Amino acid sequence: MTSQTNRQFLLAKRPVGAATRETFTYQEVPVGEPGAGQILVKNQYLSLDPAMRGWMNEGKSYIPPVEIGEVMRALGVGQVIASNNPGFAVGDYVNGALGVQDYFLGEPRGFYKVDPKLAPLPVYLSALGMTGMTAYFALLDVGAPKAGDTVVLSGAAGAVGSIAGQIAKIKGCRVVGIAGGADKCKYLIDELGFDGAIDYKHEDVLAGLKRECPKGVDVYFDNVGGEILDAVLSRLAPKARVVICGAISQYNNKEAVKGPANYLSLLVNRARMEGFVVMDYAAQYAGAAQEMAGWMAKGQLKSKEDIVEGLQTFPETLMKLFSGENFGKLVLKV
């Protein structure tokens, strides 16, 4: 394998505000051979997620930060091309933390096999991957929707929001999505079967919530934080549940994170707000994936991927997440 070259993006510095190409060091190094217990994977698709911005920050979090000089962390799917690990054979397709590079070489900690005959590889990074697991457990466990509930989701046309909204529909809820732009809102209603949509780029969110949720919001699935979170807090129904899954509007702040101003609505409505980290549910992933695959087979659950080609485009492609350019799950084809 030493004749092969591995292109890599390493974290060069901790960004203040948005990450740019200068945040990373690009290098080309020879591909090594797997040692004892290691595998060599040819990466095919990488998952680009808002959480990656948080992984660049120093400080306590649910996962250690990427260190300066390390390959930038990214989940991905690829094929094993050499193995010194009895659990993985040459030819196996695997899902794991492959990193922003052409090849992964190391111990396959947390890796698991996937079958490209059952679903296209990018789907294992969206509906049948960490994205789908996030939507499934955040909605069903933390949000605890009941049939007839009104469920509102921000970032509703994004990777997690679009899947969580469809699961809410499967569970018999009235579902309203908040998304940016007429095309995304039309997609939510026409393609995914949402009951209503609010275009935050072209209408007042509070006015949209009054129109679409006249009886209030029973479950709010928050992916964005900021002003939209405040607007929804003002429309909570009694005993509402607010799921804090993400806060993409705040990740590139140069100042302190803006917290909710309307939090007293939680008191008045005896509501609760709870944070969510998908890794807490790792032992239950297999069962969730099986149920979601069944919904997909029946046509009840659709997965949309926004695939961009070329490892070299990584820094610019990552920023599509924060400008709202991506439509569906953002995936980088290596």
pLDDT at 223: 94
pLDDT at 5: 96
pLDDT at 3: 67
Contact in structure between 37 and 90 (CB atoms under 8 Å): no
pLDDT at 1: 47
Give the percent of the chain with pLDDT over 90: 83
Environment class of residue 114 by beta-carbon count within 10 Å: exposed (0-12), middle (13-18) or buried (19+)? buried
pLDDT at 178: 98
Backbone angles phi, psi at 214, to 5 degrees: -60, -25
Distance CA 68, CA 92 (A): 31
Domains of the chain, start order? 5-126+305-333 (3.90.180.10), 130-278 (3.40.50.720)
> Model confidence over 106-146: pLDDT tens digits?
999 989 999 999 889 999 999 999 999 999 999 999 999 99
Q: Which residue has the higher pLDDT, 216 or 304?
A: 216
Predicted TM-score (pTM) of the model is 0.86
Q: Compute the chain's Rg from CA coordinates.
A: 20
Residue 216 pLDDT > 90? yes
SS3 content of the chain, % helix, strand, coil (to 5): 30, 30, 40
- For the chain, the average pLDDT equals 94
User: What confidence tier does 328 reach under pLDDT thresholds 50, 70, 90?
Assistant: confident
Task: Kindly state the average pLDDT of the residues 188-195.
Answer: 97
pLDDT at 252: 67
